[in-house]
Amino acid sequence: MPLYPHVLFDLDGTLIDSAPAILASYREAFAAAGRAPVMPIDAGIVGPPLLETLEMLTGSTDPVLIAELAAHFKASYDTTGYLQTAAYDGVGDMLTRLAAGGCRLAIATNKRLHPTRLILQHLGWAGHFDAVYALDMFEPRLPDKATMIARLMADRGIARDIAVYVGDRSEDGESADANHLPFLAATWGYGSLDAAEMAPHWRAVTSPAALAELILQD
């Protein structure tokens, strides 16, 4: 039996390198709106939800401005932009190994649901996951990742003592903690946590192969 029969994954920076596609679409959104961001559009902005990121990039909470930029972003990312998304080396094999080893896999991501599904189909991974959860899949929108994980576990009847959350950012670890789940930090991603950011009870995993070995250990 796997160490964790249920494995819940973050997406951006954990399973996929989505930064080039996301950053290109943010730049296109600002260009289409004829506006300049107040901070650099670089890999450091990848991870938070779309609207939160746009507020950060504009330094504004003006709903009209944010809606305009969000529409431009979606027009870019949801048509061709997402196709630039690449899987991290070894992730496809890891997912196949975990599924073959008896694990039930799910995604809990800050990314919007529509492009998440497009990306999973594009990479040939859709069949690996029993559940794919995003903040915007419910009305009203879920407030944060911790709430989303709680909802996923409740909906699917997943007990916390047989599950783990895998992510690449401190927010991911804190969301796991909020649900009393163990947390595995995927240190191969761009949100890679360094030693100073790691809580003592979190565990770093350096490669997808190492993660599969850990979870499928006898």
Q: Which residues form the catalytic set?
A: 10
- Count the domains in the chain: 2
Which candidate, 188, 193, 162, 6, places its Cα nearest to that of 91?
188
**Token couple for 169:** 């950012």
Contact of 116 with 135, CB cutoff 8 Å = no
Q: CB neighbours of 33 closer than 8 A, spacing ≥ 6?
A: 65, 68, 69, 72
Domain with 64 in it: 19-83
At 92-121, the pLDDT tens digits run 999 999 999 999 999 999 999 999 999 999
Q: Does residue 185 share a domain with residue 145?
A: yes
Q: Does residue 203 share a domain with residue 147?
A: yes
Angle at 20 between CA 18 and CA 21, to 5 degrees: 70
Q: Does residue 105 share a domain with residue 76?
A: no
Contact of 176 with 155, CB cutoff 8 Å = no
Question: What percentage of residues in the chain have a pLDDT greater than 70?
Answer: 99
At 66-85, the pLDDT tens digits run 999 999 999 999 999 999 99
Q: Does residue 41 share a domain with residue 116?
A: no
At 174-214, the pLDDT tens digits run 999 999 999 999 999 776 788 889 999 999 999 999 999 99
- Domain-ending residue, one of 66, 83, 100: 83
Beta-sheet pairing, 6-9 with 129-134: unpaired
pLDDT of residue 184: 97
The CATH number that applies at residue 33 is 1.10.150.240
Q: Does residue 176 share a domain with residue 123?
A: yes
Q: Does residue 102 share a domain with residue 147?
A: yes
Q: Does residue 141 share a domain with residue 129?
A: yes
The CATH number that applies at residue 11 is 3.40.50.1000
At 13-33, the pLDDT tens digits run 999 999 999 999 999 999 999
Amino acid, single-letter form, for residue 51:
L
**pTM greater than 0.75 (yes/no):** yes
Cα–Cα dist 94/215, whole Å: 10
Q: Does residue 128 share a domain with residue 155?
A: yes
Q: Does residue 170 share a domain with residue 71?
A: no
Q: Does residue 78 share a domain with residue 167?
A: no
